[in-house]
Structure 1
Amino acid sequence: MLKFDPGREDAFWADIERLPGYPRGEAIRLRRMLFAEDAVRRLPEVLRSVEAPEQVPLRVVMDGVPMRRGPEDLKPLVHSILQASGWAVEAIIVEPDASGQVHTDFEQIGRVQARLVPGCAVVAVGSGTITDIAKHACHLFEQSAGEIVPFVAYQTANSVSAYTSNMAPIFVRGVKRTLPSRYPDALVCDLETLRDAPDAMTAAGVGDLLAAGVSFADWYLAFRLGMDDSYTPLAETLMGSLGEDMLELAPAVRRMDLEAMGTLARWIALAGLAMSLAHATTPLSGFEHVVSHVLDMQADSTGRPLATHGAQVALASALASSAYAILLDEFDPFAIDPARCFPDDATMHRRILSAFSAIDPTGKAA
């Protein structure tokens, strides 16, 4: 199913570095990606492999929500494994805001950044939001302190492609922006942890991947229309026959089969890498993600809890697929007025403000 397996580590990187569109000469810190049963007990080994030995101060970033791993409480288990292996562990608990949820914003990122010290290492134990908060806190600390922070992402759900991405979607004054960030140095996917994650989180990960059914077309269409000259086939080559493979994988994912959990985790890792290596979210984030981000901004502005990102993306992907079906069935190239397709900036700005005024009366998103 997987043409390129990120679990093969060095062999994986050697394979994809030969692909058209790969950013040769670019330093990529993420070299270690572990997908295995009982991988939680290999966290000490992974930390040492990214130059974070027992002598360094270790910050473990997580939220306060209990997580089960079989009969065990996951977060105390991670803490005890690291402590027993010789690290002085300091937990950084990310608290929810007034909505009852944790959001990726600069207030949360700043709280984590303030707890980092020179010479420390960081482990994020959580799903996409916690990973993005910890990732960007490390990124900002590195920029201000001028030193590298070893960072390991311990993935707690097959929920979103944030784990292997060098970008972070962050709420900036109520508007969701995707900002340059950094890769983790290593990714740890413990299959038992992924199996025991809430079903809704796993469904969200599948939903996030479904964007590939329309996002590649969005990007290629923008390229052919002269709107985006950054197009490269690398991302689509990496993801391969994702749609057909997901249909085949779905029954085993529904059963929470460990091998299927590992395969899904690899697909999600590839998705994050595909965007990062393309230096853009566009390969796997088209119109369907715009819909999801607008829903997020609406919820944030009214203080309502956010739905899972992947659930929104899945529904929006179905909508976008229907739009493409209508286009292919009804499009008449001779009815197009090119002048109306390329308005000047001022006209386009007015159209955007008008179209979004009902859901963004402040105009901040424009």
Structure 2
Amino acid sequence: MNLESFGIRLGERFQCECGKTHEIYIKKVLLSENAVNYILDVIEELNLSGSAIVVDDEITRKIAGIHLIEILRQNNIPVTEYTILKPTIEEVNRVARSMSNIDISIAVGGGSVIDTCKLASYKRNIPFISVPTTLSHDGIVSATASIINEAGQKETYPCRSPLATIFDLKILRSQPKRMIAAGCGDMLAKATSLKDWELARDEKNEYYCPTAARLSLMTYDEVTKFINEGGIDIAAFSMSIFKSGLAMAMIGSSRPNSGSEHLISHYIDISSRNPAMHGEQVGLATILMSMYHSEYNKNWWLDEKYQWYYIKSMLKKINAPVTVERLGVELDVLIDALVEGYKLRPNRYTILHKRPINKEEAVSLLKNTGIL
């Protein structure tokens, strides 16, 4: 997994060159064909026991939720099932209330299910196991949850990463290709997010962890390799997604993987009548911000593999949207996202905080990248 070269061991603490002691909460990663069938082995290895709750949605309960529940019940483990409708803070609180007599929580699904269960488990201080059924974003093992708050807007809540993650390759190979393309879009964002983080370090004296940054950057190279080799090595992509989330989990922040490109996507989520998938929006925004960085950040990457046109070629190769029309988001919303998006997080310093863009420049940026 190449983690020991970073000084990282699962389930342990380590003293980092950044001056902090990082705790790696996650203890187990299982990646194999039919990995769900080994849920009992994972529970035993983690020294867990007692009753369990399986959190899923209407789709993922059919993919793996029902099967997982059957395995647990056949082995005399009391199981409660909770099928979520929407990743809202109200739903999180309902799930948390359902955990009053629960010892183990297991999430089966994509980001919405995992984040809902992750935050509810954190509120209840219950060990949490994730079973992703898609790889559409890189937050599967992060220590944050993206949840719709009471105002109807997505908010990032601090919590704790799962104790274990089970990547079932048979399930993950059957996910729609659009999900994989979206995951690639989220992963390619490192090109801009890491440079935004460096800007914040250099200009605002923000905390910066070189270890987390290097780990995050390594996954960028891995995802370009995955795309160039046809986007078929789901095992390798799963581990890249895992390591990307680990970079966030170890510092308790999305900072390594989330910069100006994510602020643009968050604005679209709030303002568009027809938002696209998270990773699709982030991927397209990464094209825009990589060109913007190259023009206004003197410390932008020199290597071609981080330039806007290369990122665009990667997204095209994996069949992710690289035009406004294909993304399906209203043009005026995308322009406003470029101009106003950075205001959503005044303390998340990025190239857009350093040099805000006006509408005329936003339109030019869209045209110059061929997105418009």
Under a length normalisation based on structure 1, what TM-score does the superposition of the two structures give? 0.75
- Once the two structures are superposed, residues 298-356 of structure 1 have per-residue CA deviations (whole angstroms, 9 ceiling, x without a partner) of 24xxxx46421111110010110111122258x9xxxxxxxxxxxxxxxxxxxxxxx88
Conservation of the 8 A alpha-carbon contact between 1:170 and 1:178: yes
SS of structure 2 residue aligned to 1:188: strand
| Aligned residue number for residue 47 of structure 2 | 51
In structure 1, the partner of 2:17 is: 20
Note the alpha carbon deviations across 1:170-225, whole angstroms, 9 max, x for none: 22213322221112111111111111111111111111111101111010011111
Q: Could you tell me which residue of structure 2 aligns to residue 327 of structure 1?
A: 296
Q: Look up the equivalent residue of 1:20 and give its one-letter code.
A: E
- Tell me the CA shift for residue 14 of structure 1: 9.0
The equivalent position to 1:76 in structure 2, one of 54, 66, 80, is 66
Using a 3 Å threshold, how does the CA distance of structure 1 residues 203 and 92 change in structure 2: closer, same or farther?
same
2:99 partner SS? coil
Q: Give the one of 163, 175, 198 matched to 2:153.
A: 175
- Classify the secondary structure of the residue corresponding to 1:154: strand
1:154 pairs with one of 107, 112, 131: 131
Deviation at residue 45 of structure 1 after TM alignment: 0.9
* Pair 1:261-2:251 in alignment: no
Letter of the aligned partner of 2:40 in structure 1? P
Deviation (angstroms), 1:252: 4.5
| 1:17-166 superposed matches below 5 A | 17=14, 19-21=16-18, 23-24=20-21, 26-53=22-49, 56-65=50-59, 73-95=63-85, 102=86, 104-142=87-125, 149-166=126-143
Identity %: 26
1:159 Cα deviation from its structure 2 partner: 1.6
* 1:313 aligned residue: 282
Q: 1:212 aligns with which of 172, 181, 190?
A: 190
Report the secondary structure of 1:319's partner residue: helix
3-state DSSP of counterpart to 2:139: helix
Higher relative contact order (CA 8 A, sep 6+): 1
| Aligned equivalents of 1:65, 1:171: Cα separation in 2 | 20
Change (3 A) 1:189 1:324: same
Give the superposed CA RMSD: 3.1
Aligned to 2:253: 280
Letter aligned with residue 101 of structure 2: P
- Which residue of 1 is the match for residue 263 of structure 2? 290
| Residues 11-60 of structure 1 deviation map (CA, whole Å, 9 limit, x = unaligned) | 84499946523742x5443111111222111111112223332xx12110
Matches of 2:221 and 2:123, distance apart in 1: 40
Which structure has the greater CA radius of gyration?
A: 1
Q: 2:52, 2:102 within 8 Å by CA — same for their partners in 1?
A: no
Q: Who is 1:352 aligned against?
A: none
Q: Give 1:116's aligned amino acid.
A: M
Aligned to 1:192: 170
* Maintained 8 Å contact 1:210/1:317: yes
What 5-or-longer segments of structure 2 have no aligned partner? 301-335, 347-372
